[in-house]
Chain A
Amino acid sequence: GNSVTQMEGPVTLSEEAFLTINCTYTATGYPSLFWYVQYPGEGLQLLLKATKADDKGSNKGFEATYRKETTSFHLEKGSVQVSDSAVYFCALRGRGGADGLTFGKGTHLIIQP
């Protein structure tokens, strides 16, 4: 079946640091890949997505590239802010199968001023 693996954290960084949150997946075929973010006290929001190999999703300074050869979709940001503190979830949706998303366990990111 489908699965997503990501570092769980918490990950603590200083403001303006470079961020990488690793995400790897197992799926049959060519899934669509997503990063969702959950800010404190708020619901899950789509951050970015990529639907095919070598696609790069980007939003709010965050980027992730769909790497089929390494089955990865790592999230990066060049300079984090305190307001980026949240839980980040990597997810996939399989093609031709169930439409439900398969999520990783989530990475709690804490940015200190």
Chain B
Amino acid sequence: GAGVSQSPSNKVTEKGKDVELRCDPISGHTALYWYRQSLGQGLEFLIYFQGNSAPDKSGLPSDRFSAERTGGSVSTLTIQRTQQEDSAVYLCASSVDRGYEQYFGPGTRLTVT
């Protein structure tokens, strides 16, 4: 079946602009995760959703970052007033339920100029 999909695959934006990144999890997966992969910091966990709620937002780096998930499916990660240090690949993963194997999407490469 279809895997985790993310859009756009690449995004270039100017410093100070807002961006929205989208994740479409595997159908039927209740758990959804966002991670950030950057040269300096490696792979960092950002936020976890179980259904539509986000019990763990511990990894969000600042209040400019927010995420929502509607209908227990698609999720959007929003970065407001982007900064150059936000440049990274943003990865989404889903799993059938909490504690099960996480399947990763191809990522969105964000470049802030």
Count contacts on B: residues with CB < 8 A to the other chain: 26
Interchain CB contact (< 8 A) of B42 among A42, A44, A105: A105
Contact of B107 among A43, A93, A104, A106 (CB under 8 A): A43
Q: Which of B43, B103, B106 lies in contact with A103, CB distance below 8 A?
A: B43
Of B19-27, B71-79, B94-102, the one touching chain A? B94-102
Report the bound CA distance from A36 to B106 in whole Å: 14
A69 on the B face (CB < 8 A): no
**Which stretch, A11-19, A71-79, A94-102, touches the partner chain B?**
A94-102
Q: Bound complex: CA of A44 vs CA of B105, how far in Å?
A: 8
Q: Which residues of chain B have C-beta atoms less than 8 A from A43's C-beta?
A: 3-4, 91, 104-107
A46 within 8 A of partner (CB)? yes
Asked if A100 and B91 sit within 8 Å, CB to CB, the answer is: no
Question: B70 an interface residue at 8 Å Cβ cutoff?
Answer: no
Cβ-defined contact, A99 with B99, below 8 A? yes
* B59 at interface, CB cutoff 8 A: yes
* Nearest-CB residue, chain A, relative to B42: A105
Contact: A100 with B42, CB < 8 Å?
A: no
Interface string of A19-47 (1 = CB under 8 A from B): 00000000000000000100000111110
Q: Which 10 A-B pairs have the closest CB atoms?
A: A100-B45, A103-B43, A44-B104, A105-B42, A98-B56, A43-B106, A43-B104, A99-B48, A100-B48, A99-B98
Q: Residues of B with Cβ closer than 8 Å to A?
A: 3-4, 31, 33, 35, 42-48, 56, 58-59, 91, 93, 98-99, 101-107
Q: List 14 A-B contacts (CB under 8 A).
A: A43-B3, A43-B106, A43-B107, A98-B56, A99-B56, A100-B33, A100-B35, A100-B58, A100-B59, A101-B33, A101-B45, A102-B45, A103-B43, A103-B44
Give A residues with C-beta under 8 Å from B: 36, 42-46, 49, 89, 91, 93, 98-106
For the complex with contacts A43-B104, A101-B43, 17 further pairs of A-B residues with Cβ separation under 8 Å are: A36-B104, A43-B105, A44-B91, A44-B93, A46-B102, A46-B103, A89-B43, A98-B45, A98-B48, A99-B31, A99-B56, A101-B33, A101-B45, A101-B102, A103-B42, A103-B43, A105-B42
